[in-house]
Amino acid sequence: MDRRSFLAGTAALGGQILQGQQPQTRLGQLKRPLAITMWDFSWLERRWPGAGYEDWDSSLDQLVLRGYDAIRLDAYPHLVAAAPERVWELLPCWNTQDWGSPAKNRVQVQPALNQFIRKCGDRGLRVALSTWFRQDVGNTRDSIKTAADHGKIWERTLKSIDSDGLLKHILYVDLCNEFPLDIWAPFVPHGMLRASPEGTAWMREAIAVVKVSYPHLDYTFSMTSEYDTWKQQDVSMLNFLELHIWMAQASDFYKQVGYHYERFSPSGYEHVVERAKPLYDSKPAYWQGKLRDQILWAAEWSRATKQPLITTECWSLVDYKDWPLLEWDWLKELCDVGVRTAAATGRWAAIATSNFCGPQFAGMWRDVSWHKRMTEVIHTSSLSL
């Protein structure tokens, strides 16, 4: 098949996903769930030889081959709002993980962001905008003092995308990854909880600001904490719930392994090598049950709020990579359980297969047939929103 026929076919597939033409980005228009992946800040930062994203055309074609419909990525809104075409020097948030850069790096967000979105659109891929508020050497993110500031940087970012006519490719906007964890949102008042009146007000005001200019888009704040207080949380300002769910966080698995999210030390991975797979293999049904319980709880929250779900980070361990003595088979087994359980609820508008679905994770990425099986499960499931 030539490239023109390939692109025409993938664009047609993307068009079949949505009912009607206006507005195309509303999740309520979905006929079936989307298969989504998280390329975070890796899409821009991991462009040195062998890092996985140096050839966007190749990486995107491989993603389409595996059956995916959408990508969640970092739009670097604070940097776009400050100076979209400046070359920024970024500091690493870790050197143990294979998301983003393990060392100081330089990026130019625009016009790269719009170029990447256009390439996605050419293939029928939707783009979910998010941000991890990456730290540059001047700490530009510290200029965010209020929720209104937070909303305004997103408004400026969307305008820079809109100026090239690319909003039609945007699936949704996540104003902050895993809000309000201080690693990703260090600008919020220290200790602020999402469930608090202050946290609720922050989300509501930030979304209200950006909605003035772009009311037709879907907005959320993705989450991975405070799940125990879900019944007390006001999430009415969100168009959907973007919940990050892993077996490792739905249980005491990491506690038993001795993994503590070490960011600049290999000690955590040394414990994972020694203990993780043997622990899982000792009682796989138990660990799979913990994952299923968390997924079914999320579906309950979705029904209670009458909001659809999206999950882009999931289902096995939070952190993993290609490393000596680390195997992928049991992670894929857990992710298979997660995908099938989520899809069966009818509450997920978009489902990821794992948070390792990117070309830098060779052990997961190279198993094309596994990805095709998982995306087929997603595409053939129904929605009951």
Give tens-digit pLDDT for 357-384.
999 999 999 999 999 999 999 999 999 9
Would you state the pLDDT for residue 101? 98
pTM here is 0.93
Residue type at 17?
A: I
Higher pLDDT, 181 or 18: 181
Hey, what long-range contacts does 12-17 have (CB within 8 A, 24 or more apart)?
Answer: 12/124, 13/69, 13/124, 14/69, 14/123, 14/124, 14/125, 14/126, 15/124, 17/69
Q: What is the mean pLDDT of residues 21-39?
A: 78
Would you state the pLDDT for residue 264? 98
Would you state the pLDDT for residue 19? 32
Would you state the pLDDT for residue 28? 78
Q: What are the tens digits of pLDDT across the range 51-66?
A: 999 999 999 999 999 9
Token reading at 235? 């999430």
In this prediction, what percent of the chain has a pLDDT beyond 70? Answer: 93
Q: What is the mean pLDDT of residues 278-301?
A: 98
Would you state the pLDDT for residue 2? 37
Q: 29 pLDDT band (50/70/90 cuts)?
A: confident
Would you state the pLDDT for residue 6? 32
Would you state the pLDDT for residue 16? 35
In the CATH hierarchy, which top-level class contains the domain 3-379?
alpha beta
Q: What are the tens digits of pLDDT across the range 191-242?
A: 999 999 999 999 999 999 999 999 999 999 999 999 999 999 999 999 999 9
Token reading at 339? 């995908």
Would you state the pLDDT for residue 27? 85
Would you state the pLDDT for residue 10? 35
DSSP-derived secondary structure letter, 234: -
Residue 81 has pLDDT above 80, yes or no: yes
Which of 21-35, 213-227, 289-303 shows the lowest per-residue confidence on average (mean pLDDT)?
A: 21-35
In this prediction, what percent of the chain has a pLDDT beyond 90? Answer: 92
Query: Nearest 5 degrees, angle CA 314-CA 71-CA 16?
Result: 110
Would you state the pLDDT for residue 157? 98
Token reading at 327? 């195997």
Q: What are the tens digits of pLDDT across the range 251-265?
A: 999 999 999 999 999
Residue 25 has pLDDT above 90, yes or no: no
DSSP-derived secondary structure letter, 1: -
- Is-contact 233 174, C-beta < 8 A? no
Query: Nearest 5 degrees, angle CA 225-CA 228-CA 232?
Result: 100
Within 13 Å of residue 154, how many CA atoms lie on the same side as its CB?
Answer: 33
Distance of CA 281 to the CA centre of its chain: 28
- Residue 95 neighbours by CB under 8 Å, 6+ apart: 102, 103, 263, 264
Picking from 100, 63, 6, 48, the residue whose alpha carbon sits closest to that of residue 364 is 63
Q: How far is residue 293's CA from residue 264's CA, in Å, rounded to a whole number?
A: 32
**What is the residue-averaged pLDDT of the chain?**
93
Would you state the pLDDT for residue 133? 98
- Is-contact 78 144, C-beta < 8 A? yes
Q: 9 pLDDT band (50/70/90 cuts)?
A: very low
DSSP-derived secondary structure letter, 93: S
Would you state the pLDDT for residue 385? 82
- Residue 109 neighbours by CB under 8 Å, 6+ apart: 44, 75, 76, 79, 80, 84, 85, 88
